Structure 1
Amino acid sequence: MSRLSRPSPLERTESDATSCQQAATRTYDRRRGLYAVRVLPGGAYVTRRADEMIVTVLGSCVAACIRDPATGFGGLNHFMLPESESGTWNGVSAAMRYGNHAMEVLINEVLKSGCRRQDLEIKLFGGADLTDGPTLIGSSNVAFVLGYLEAEGLAAASVDLGGATGRRIHYHPSTGVVHRLLLAAASHPVLVADERSFKDHLARTTVEGDIDLF
């Protein structure tokens, strides 16, 4: 039986899109003539608008780009660790920071739009190992997301996972186009520090209710 059955913590907005509360910021990109929605770690965003692109920066984290190719409705998540049964982060409920919850929520949201499971278009990015050590979080995230799709009987249309390079992703759900920029090695220490800082911040911060449904 599929695990994709829990309610979604994504909320409707005035832009006819859906976003995780406090997990995405929306600005206008004059050069591209589009709204750019930046998804932060532990966040997700879906939209049906052709004038929106979804942007995120990935180190060891993984992002899934999922859409209905028939309608262009789709979105992106950004998870930090593979999975958690309880959905807690150092005692704080923060389910979207874990891959099993983030994947379930995003897939369910696209399915709710009327898409059939077999028609989901899924593209995966991230999971770099930017540091050496006994625990390679990037590799763990990659192994999780590939195993998750296999267990759910879903196939990825495109995969760009692993390695030792950070990525910046620009995703256009209306067309399915993804522009991927590999980050220069000089930026990696900053990216690693940002990820660690964000995780430390999350451990000390109470998460607001709209994300905390698990």
Structure 2
Amino acid sequence: MAALDPPPSHSAPDRVTVMQGEARASAEPTVEFSTVLGSCVAMCLFDPSARVGGMNHFLLAEPPTHRSREQFDEHYGLFLMELLVNEMLALGASKSRLKARLYGGANIHRGLSPIGTANADFARRFVVQEGIELTQADLGGNQARRVHFLPASGRVRCRLTAAQATPTQQPLRRPQSALGDVELF
């Protein structure tokens, strides 16, 4: 007698919050990445053939010019973009098949420098320079966004949030730096 396959699971996804300074990748169909963005930007990458996806969340586009390339850390866009691409390649993705979606980059507080605009501009430049196809961008404005991403299917849901839901400070825990594990292209 042949064994029957178990019925499909309709349980809630395994939600993983992607905090400022983090990049996560997965091929697991039950994983859902989520984050809340104000002036920060998140890139959701997906390889439709490998069914691998990932999300990052960066606070600032680029370090001040007086810092060297070796001093990049988890707060800056270039480090997190490269980290995300590398994590996806390690799971079987191919850079030539990657599709990108960009979210965030709002200028929440009037009178402050337009950090959100700088972050959004950096993210757009990065995908062009790296030859990654940009399939969707929801950037700018003055309202925060909540993003949910299913990395194995590439599906994304993005909603505008109330102003009080916008993170205003660094998270209490600081993610481990992966410096030395990132290959810069």
Q: Which amino acid aligns with 1:72?
A: R
Shift of 1:108: 2.0
Greater RCO, CA 8 A, separation 6+: 2
After superposition, give the CA deviation of every residue in 1:80-134 in whole Å (9 maximum; x if it has no partner).
000135469xxxx661210011101111221233333221011110000001225
CA RMSD, 1 decimal: 2.5
Alignment of 1:19-98 (within 5 A): 33-84=12-63, 86=68, 95-98=73-76
Could you say which structure has the larger radius of gyration? 2
The unaligned stretches of length 5 or more in structure 1 are 1-30
| CA displacement at 1:211 relative to structure 2 | 2.9
Distance 1:53 1:97 in 2: 22
Partner of 1:151: 129
1:94 and 1:211 in contact (8 A); partners too: no
8 Å Cα contact 2:120/2:139 also seen in 1: yes
Q: d(CA) in 1 for partners of 2:94 and 2:27?
A: 16
Which whole-Å CA distance do the structure 2 matches of 1:45 and 1:98 have between them? 15
For 1:179, give the aligned amino acid. R
SS of 1:157's equivalent in the other structure is: strand
Going by fraction, where is helix more abundant, 1 or 2?
Answer: 1
| Kept after mapping to 1: 8 A contact 2:105/2:117 | yes
Q: Is the 8 A contact 2:105 2:120 kept in 1?
A: yes
Cα distance between partner residues in 1 of 2:36 and 2:129: 27
Contact 1:59 1:126 in 2 (8 A): yes
What CA distance in whole angstroms lies between the structure 2 residues aligned with 1:71 and 1:153?
18
User: Does residue 142 in structure 1 map to residue 120 in structure 2?
Assistant: yes
Q: What is the alpha-carbon distance in structure 2 between the residues aligned to residue 95 and residue 32 of structure 1?
A: 37
The CA distance in 2 between the partners of 1:58 and 1:134, in whole Å, is 17
- Residue 106 of structure 1: SS of its match in structure 2? helix
Secondary structure at 2:133 match in 1: coil
Distance 2:69 2:128 in 1: 22
Distance 1:61 1:68 in 2: 23
- For 2:69 and 2:105, locate their aligned partners in 1 and report how far apart those are by CA, in whole Å: 20
Unpaired segments of 5 or more residues in structure 2? 1-9
Instruction: Tell me the amino acid that sits aligned with residue 161 of structure 1.
Output: L
Which residue identity is paired with 2:13? L
SS in 1 for 2:138: strand
Partner of 2:105: 127
% identity of equivalent residues: 34
Contact 2:26 2:88 in 1 (8 A): no
User: Is 1:198 aligned with 2:173?
Assistant: no
Residue number in structure 1 paired with 2:82: 104
CA distance in 2, matches of 1:171, 1:157: 14
Residue identity matched to 1:58:
L
**2:110 is paired with a residue of what secondary structure?**
coil
Report the TM-score, using the length of structure 1 for normalisation. Answer: 0.71
Seen in structure 2, the aligned counterparts of structure 1 residues 130 and 87 have a Cα distance that, compared at 3 Å, is farther
